[in-house]
Amino acid sequence: MEMNDIKLKKRIAVDMDGVLADVYEQFFRLDEIKTGTRKTLESVTGVLELEAFQFGRDHVLSDDFFRTAPVMKDSQQILEQLHQQYEVFIVSSATEFPKSLSEKQAWLGEHFPFISWKQMVFCGSKAIIQADIMIDDHFKNLDYFTGQTILFSQPHNALADAGKHRRVSTWKEIEKLLL
């Protein structure tokens, strides 16, 4: 019974950075501490994070960058509802920064306690992921995915044509789309 139930549920692969975790706010904050000035949103729009923030790589490699990232607005409540109706997996590119692995798992445990360890995937390439729906802020992940693709707006992708992907800017839009 439960097994049939699981099989009938559509599977969603949800990205962390730039979808659940507000990494831009981390970059803005740390960059301001380092330089004394807060960058404008305009100045970082249309380029990848590590190009937009001069010290971005140092920040990503520093302790607690991922552990203390702010949570994206409305994501907790809406992901919990998705978790009731879908088979949710959190799929995060993490192995490029090995220290991030345990930080990301602890962060999920704190902010999304309904997500069990069975639903977590920390990888490099997402080409190996099989799901019905993918929510991600990077074209490199969405472009090769064969299911339904939802592009979460972030400054780095804001100027690009979403193409075949459905662009959303807030979790409230995901709620309308999927719930």
Amino acid at 57: R
Task: Identify which of residues 44 and 135 has a Cβ nearer to a copy of itself in the complex.
Answer: 135
Tell which phi-psi region holds residue 46, choosing left (phi > 0), alpha (psi between -120 and 50) or beta: left
Question: Shortest approach of a copy of itself to residue 49 CB, angstroms?
Answer: 18
Question: Shortest approach of a copy of itself to residue 129 CB, angstroms?
Answer: 6
Q: Which residues are catalytic?
A: 15, 17
Question: Shortest approach of a copy of itself to residue 158 CB, angstroms?
Answer: 26
Cα angle value 155/141/20 (rounded, 5°): 55
Residues that bind a copy of itself (CB under 8 A): 11, 13, 89, 91, 94-96, 98-99, 101-102, 105-106, 116-125, 128-131
Cα gap 77→171, rounded to integer Å: 9
Please return the burial class of 140, using the count of CB atoms within 10 Å of its CB with bins 0-12, 13-18 and 19+: exposed
Task: Identify which of residues 33 and 106 has a Cβ nearer to a copy of itself in the complex.
Answer: 106
Task: Identify which of residues 85 and 144 has a Cβ nearer to a copy of itself in the complex.
Answer: 144
